[in-house]
């Protein structure tokens, strides 16, 4: 288990240092700003939703390694998904981040995003990890009429 933790920590540090999809988008279909006053993390998320699927996602912003890594991995995780699939993913991530520390629930279905499973042990960092996801919520909620049966 500690090897897995090391791997997870490496992933977060790697994405925090060299974030993927850190750029702007000229004509996004959806975008939103997020701010975490507790830590000072800022993120601006750009989405390109085309034919009901996320074709491109990127972000700009500045913040701690956890918030940057979270936005970086989020943009990688949502490309190719529908808003309905993203809501499902988002729910699982929220459950992971707010679960009891030391729980034995398996979050490996979340792939790389499972790297954040250790964050629930640090309540003051949870907001850093959830910032990008809250921003995603508001980006998807903006002037987009998405019908969901969930
Ligand atoms: Zn932070």
* Mean pLDDT on 26-36: 96
Alpha carbon of 17 to ligand 1 centroid (Å): 14
Q: How confident is the model at residue 26 (pLDDT cuts 50, 70, 90)?
A: very high
Residue in the structure block whose two tokens are 């800022």: 42
Alpha carbon of 128 to ligand 1 centroid (Å): 4
Alpha carbon of 63 to ligand 1 centroid (Å): 6
Alpha carbon of 95 to ligand 1 centroid (Å): 19
Is 142 a residue whose pLDDT tops 70? no
- Residue 2 has a pLDDT of 65
Under 8 Å between Cβ of 136 and 21: no
Is 143 a residue whose pLDDT tops 80? no
Supply the DSSP symbol for 94.
H
Alpha carbon of 75 to ligand 1 centroid (Å): 18
* Mean pLDDT on 13-35: 96
Alpha carbon of 114 to ligand 1 centroid (Å): 18
Q: Give buried/exposed letters for 117-148 (b at 16+ CB in 10 A, else e).
A: bbbbeeeebbbbbbbbbbbbbebbeeeeeeee
Return mean pLDDT, the chain. Answer: 90
Alpha carbon of 127 to ligand 1 centroid (Å): 7
Alpha carbon of 30 to ligand 1 centroid (Å): 24
- Say which range, 3-7, 57-61, 80-84, 126-130, has the weakest mean pLDDT: 3-7
pTM of the model: 0.89
Query: What are the pLDDT digits (tens) for 55-112?
Result: 999 999 999 999 999 999 999 999 999 999 999 999 999 999 988 877 778 888 899 9
Under 8 Å between Cβ of 48 and 25: yes
């Amino acid at each position: 288990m500690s090897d897995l933790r090391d791997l997870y920590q490496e992933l977060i540090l790697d994405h925090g240092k060299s974030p993927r999809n850190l750029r702007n988008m000229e004509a996004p279909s959806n975008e939103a700003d997020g701010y975490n006053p507790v830590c000072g993390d800022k993120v601006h998320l750009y989405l390109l939703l085309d034919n009901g699927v996320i074709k491109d996602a990127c972000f700009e912003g500045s913040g701690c390694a956890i918030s940057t890594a979270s936005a970086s991995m989020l943009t990688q995780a949502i490309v190719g998904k529908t808003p309905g699939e993203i809501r499902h993913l988002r729910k699982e991530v929220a459950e992971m981040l707010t679960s009891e520390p030391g729980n034995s629930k398996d979050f490996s279905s979340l792939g790389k995003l499972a790297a954040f499973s250790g964050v629930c042990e640090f309540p003051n960092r949870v907001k850093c990890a959830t910032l990008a996801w809250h921003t995603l919520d508001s980006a998807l909620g903006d002037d987009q009429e998405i019908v969901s049966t969930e």
